[in-house]
Structure 1
Amino acid sequence: MKKSLIIILLLLCQCLMAQEDNTTTAETPTEPPLPAVDPAKAQQDLQLAYKKEYAFLTSQVNNIKKRMAEFKTQSATEKRQVESEISALENQLLNAEATASQLEEEIFAIQRNSESAQDNQGLIESTIIQAKSTMSEHGFEGFAEENNLGDLEKIKTLVNLANQTIQQQASITQQSGQFFLTDGTAVQGQILQVGHIASYGNSKQGSGVLAPAGEGQFKVWQDSDPEAAAAIFQGKNNGLLPIFLYESSIKAIEEQEQKTIVSVINSGGLIAWIIAGLGLFALLLILLRIFFLNRASASTEKLLSGVVHKIEQKDVDAAIKLAQKESNSSARVLLSALRNIDRDRDHIEDIVSESILHESGQLNRFGSLIIVIATVAPLLGLLGTVTGMISTFDIITEFGTGDPKLLSSGISIALVTTEVGLAVAIPALLFGNILSGWAERIKDDMEKAALRAINVYKKVFA
């Protein structure tokens, strides 16, 4: 490296000297030439100049190296400081993120506890409201007025009243009171209460098992046994004890009416009656169709045997007279074949086919109408369902859903019409197809009978 620096310095010196020589020559072209220089001295001066320049450059290089070393040391120190600061900031960031996550979990837990507390508060309030209603039904009206108490005090009061109610319901009491007979007459007598789930009444006018009549009143149940109820008050045990269980005496219990076909159809409204009318009409058509088909197929085998016997005896006129005695479809088809039996076979078969087509109108009578009724009945039931649902929604819009009895009419129309429609459609469709198959079999029997007579004739008179 030192050699390279020396060579570079020598080249620079030569360039500088050449430039000075050119400048001097250009500026003083007219000066006289300098005296001759001693080459040895010049060489010595040049070497001395080179040594000074080399020493200067070496000093500069050392200075630069020293500065570079100091810069590297300072840079390394600053780098370590920056890395330390970055590490500290990263730790602070991680701590901040951990703190934020912990705070979020705490906030979520607080929200969850708050929602749980609100739910518990709502549950407590609904329990207290239900308890007020229940206690009022059992005669504890004072509990409903204690609104100035806290929730804990209300719950304690509720527990005490519940214990009292349980004790009362576990006891059997007898007291004087008023109840109603089955005809609605109010009488005074003795009422035996089995807790708050069953009661018996006894009076001079009548006795029996009691059922709630509403507002804490009781009435004699129609299916009760008066003698068994009276025996209870006399301390007798007849073995079986009739009982009517109820939840509360505040709400009246009505006896269910026995359902009949007319009552069911009435609950379905006008559309149900229309479907029922179609059902009766379909029943009439089915009975008529059975009568016609039975009449058309009556004594076919017997008639065919007699006709074949006459033909075998070569007495066609007697066979025709025998067929004329019958008035059913089979006899008429067989008669048309006998009247033209002496013609060629193709012509006779055409006549038989024409006669069967003529009788098909009688055999297929009312068949299509029965199938139509079987198809229309469920569609009318669907119409009644839609009508009932519309009526129900109208009632809900006007009165709400508080009273189920208001909704029962629309629901009855919706369900009963579908029930009646299916009750009409299923048997109508079933019998319609059965009778159609019967009619087809009768047509086949008529054709077979005519062909049998023709074949016997051709064989006998061949």
Structure 2
Amino acid sequence: MMLGMANTSTAATTTTTNAAITTIVTQNAEPVEKVSFHQELKKRFIEGGPVFMAIVLLCLILGLAIAIERIIYLNLSTTNSKKLAANVEDALKSGGVEAAKEVCRNTKGPVASIYYQGLDRVDEGIDAAEKAVVAYGGVQMGQLEKNVSWVSLFIALAPMLGFMGTVIGMIKSFDSIAEAGAMEPSLVATGIKVALLTTVFGLIVAIILQIFYNYIIAKIDSIVNDMEDASITLIDILSDYKNGKL
């Protein structure tokens, strides 16, 4: 009986002691600091090596700068072609070619520029106006696609630089193993981690730029289709004007 009571007392004392120790450790333990995304990205960037990571970052900056400039330009180049065609037709009815050309001068975008070129050649005949519209349409298309090829270059270049950094990092890892004269897991693991960071960063850059590139290409296709439809509408309007139907 006394032995059972003693064991119970010992167990209770041990439990109390363990609880007290746990409380003291918990109180004295330092809180775990939460690492922000910016800090983690900066850490990984430094670990990947400044040379190749900086070059890949430069590709991202230049690619984004060109992409944003193209997006702004393309959005400003978007024109309500149906409204423009209606205004040009009304101007031809009321004030002739000069009034229609004035409407085009006051309207921004490649469609208005094409309309102006067609109206400027209408006195030479419908064929001359159509040739002017087609020729100037090619010029405007070149303006829309200006510098887009650079974005495509950076999309291809970023992962290639990342892979190159990975290969060079692997070579350095094997050099470290050769110098140590033994296969130490710590040397291999550290070298491989640093090498793979360049690949990851290069792929991230390529993905970001690819999204912008696809948007730009889709926007250009939309504007070009609008230009083609507007050109056909303009030739029909000029044909009616020359035949006295307006």
Say yes or no: TM over 0.5. Answer: yes
Q: Does 1:266 align with 2:89?
A: no
- Within a 5 Å distance, the mapping from 1:327-366 to structure 2 comes to 327-366=108-147
The residue type equivalent to 1:274 in the other structure is I
For residues 29-79 of structure 1, the C-alpha deviation after alignment (integer angstroms, 9 at most, x for no partner) is: xxxxxxxxxxxxxxxxxxxxxxxxxxxxxxxxxxxxxxxxxxxxxxxxxxx
Query: Unpaired runs of 5+ in structure 1?
Result: 1-170, 176-189, 193-198, 210-219, 224-254
1:326 corresponds to 2:107: yes
Partners of 1:346 and 1:298 lie apart in 2 by 25
Shift of 1:271: 0.9
User: How many pairs align?
Assistant: 226
Choose the corresponding residue for 1:201, options 24, 45, 51: 24
Which residue identity does 1:221 align to in structure 2? E
What is the alpha-carbon distance in structure 1 between the residues aligned to residue 160 and residue 41 of structure 2? 21
The answer on 1:412 being equivalent to 2:231 is: no
Retained in 1: the 8 A contact 2:91–2:100?
Answer: yes
Q: In the alignment, what sits opposite 1:394? A: 175
- Take 1:313 and 1:390, find their aligned partners in 2: how far apart are those partners? 77
> What's the offset of the Cα at 1:372?
0.6
Indicate how the Cα distance of structure 1 residues 200 and 403 shifts in structure 2: closer, same or farther if over 3 A, else same.
farther
Tell me what 1:17 maps to: none
Match of 1:222 in 2: 31
**Gap change, CA 1:409 and 1:281, over 3 Å in 2:** farther
- In 1, are the aligned partners of 2:122 and 2:128 still within 8 Å (CA)? no
The structure having more radius of gyration, on CA atoms, is 1
The code of the aligned residue for 2:27 comes to G
Q: How far is the alpha carbon of 1:428 from its aligned partner? A: 1.7
Structure whose residues are more often strand by fraction = 1
Residue 436 of structure 1, CA deviation:
2.1
The residue type paired with residue 114 of structure 2 is V
Matched to 2:154, the amino acid is I
Q: Is the 8 A contact 1:266 1:273 kept in 2?
A: no
In the other structure, the counterpart of 1:43 is none
Using the aligned pairs only, state the percent identity.
27
Q: Assess, with a 3 A threshold, how the Cα gap between structure 1 residues 293 and 256 changes in structure 2: closer, same or farther.
A: closer
Query: Could you tell me which residue of structure 2 aligns to residue 378 of structure 1?
Result: 159
> Residues of 2 paired with 1:221 and 1:403: CA distance?
31
| 1:317 lines up with 2:98 in the alignment | yes
Shift, 1:454, TM fit: 2.1
Cα distance in 1 between the residues matched to 2:93 and 2:238: 7
The Cα shift of 1:457 comes to 2.4
Check conservation: 1:298, 1:328, Cα contact below 8 A.
Answer: yes
**One-letter code aligned to 2:191:** G
TM-score by length of 2: 0.80
Deviation at residue 322 of structure 1 after TM alignment: 0.8
SS in 1 for 2:238: helix
Q: Which runs of 5+ in 2 are unaligned?
A: 1-13
Q: Distance in 2 between matches of 1:349 and 1:456?
A: 12
Counterpart amino acid of 1:268? G
- Check the 8 A contact 1:293/1:363 in 2, yes or no: yes
Q: Which residue of structure 1 lines up, in the alignment, with residue 217 of structure 2?
A: 436
Could you list the per-position Cα deviations for residues 295-314 of structure 1 after superposition, in whole angstroms to 9, with x for gaps in the alignment? Answer: 11234443232112222446
Q: Measure, in 2, the Cα distance between the counterparts of 1:382 and 1:191.
A: 54
- Asked whether the 8 Å contact 2:158–2:206 carries over to 1, the reply is yes
Deviation at 1:360, TM superposition (A): 2.3
Q: TM-score, normalization: structure 1?
A: 0.45
Determine the C-alpha separation between the residues in 1 that align with 2:34 and 2:105.
Answer: 63
- Give how far 1:374 is off: 0.4
8 Å CA contact 1:352, 1:447 repeated in 2: no
Bigger helix fraction: 2
SS at match of 2:24: strand
Indicate the RMSD between aligned Cα atoms, in angstroms: 2.7
Q: Closer, same or farther in 2 for the Cα pair 1:408/1:437, shift >3 Å?
A: same
Change in Cα spacing, 1:453 to 1:407, as seen in structure 2 (3 Å) is: same
Counterparts of residues 27-426 of structure 1 (less than 5 Å): 174=17, 192=21, 199-201=22-24, 208=27, 220-223=29-32, 260-269=40-49, 270-313=51-94, 315-399=96-180, 400-402=182-184, 404=186, 406-426=187-207
SS for the counterpart of 2:27 is strand
Provide the C-alpha distance between the structure 1 equivalents of 2:42 and 2:79, rounded to a whole number of angstroms: 38
